[in-house]
Amino acid sequence: MSTLKQIREQQNLTQEELSERSGISVRTIQRIESGIKPKGHTLKTLSKTLEIPEYELLNKAIEPEAEVAIEESVQNPEDHSIDYSKAKLINFSSILFVILPPLNILVPFILSSLLKQKNFITKQIITLQIFWTVLAPIIFMLGIFLKLGRSFTMVLITLIVLSNIFLILRNTAEIDRNKKLRYKLNFNIL
């Protein structure tokens, strides 16, 4: 079974539904499923539509157990033991300090050290909080420079705080359901 067909069926999509969502013709999808490797725009579009990395579409069909092992080794080459309940705790600890941005980085960092959870997921949690902590004041300053009034400033502050709460809660739910992060960056600061 081809990788595309395997992934498409896991997501309960027909070839026609995948074609509608991606804009790629049914015939092209059939060719890829028959063994032709996708390239360029087609590869990027299918990867984005199916919400998977491009390299997964280029691999040969593999067993589900092997797929999980490969995904873990790619995400976390130095440590294969991820305690997902601890990862959820580390992620959720940021929510207590969304108003005090330096602590929303420091507390998860300390918890990951204390709980011995220095893996891909916890590093991404801390990296995301660092990125948000740097980005939030920049957005706030841009809002002030627009001089749209005090009410706009209060709305902006509320939206900034709520955006971080949303990121934390959504990632916690995704760790609980699928053992991965919903929102992560393509780089790691730690």
Q: What is the pLDDT of residue 92?
A: 87
Is 47 or 77 the better-scoring residue by pLDDT? Answer: 47
Is 61 or 88 the better-scoring residue by pLDDT? Answer: 88
Q: What is the pLDDT of residue 150?
A: 82
Q: What is the pLDDT of residue 58?
A: 80
Class at the top of the CATH hierarchy for domain 3-61: mainly alpha
Domain boundaries, the chain: 3-61, 84-178
Q: Is 168 exposed, middle or buried (0-12, 13-18, 19+ CB in 10 A)?
A: buried
Predicted confidence (pLDDT) per residue in 156-184, tens digit: 889 999 999 999 999 989 988 888 888 88
Whether residue 80 is predicted with pLDDT greater than 80 in this model: the reply is: no
Predicted confidence (pLDDT) per residue in 11-67, tens digit: 899 999 999 999 999 999 999 888 888 888 998 999 899 888 888 888 644 444 444
Predicted confidence (pLDDT) per residue in 90-126, tens digit: 988 888 888 888 888 899 999 999 988 888 888 999 9
Q: What is the pTM of this model?
A: 0.55
Mean pLDDT, the chain, whole residue set: 83
One-letter amino acid at 79 equals: D
Gap between the Cα atoms of 143 and 139, Å rounded: 6
Q: What is the pLDDT of residue 95?
A: 86
List % helix, strand, coil for the chain (3-state, nearest 5).
70, 0, 30
Task: Give the side-chain half-sphere CA count within 13 A for 73.
Answer: 6
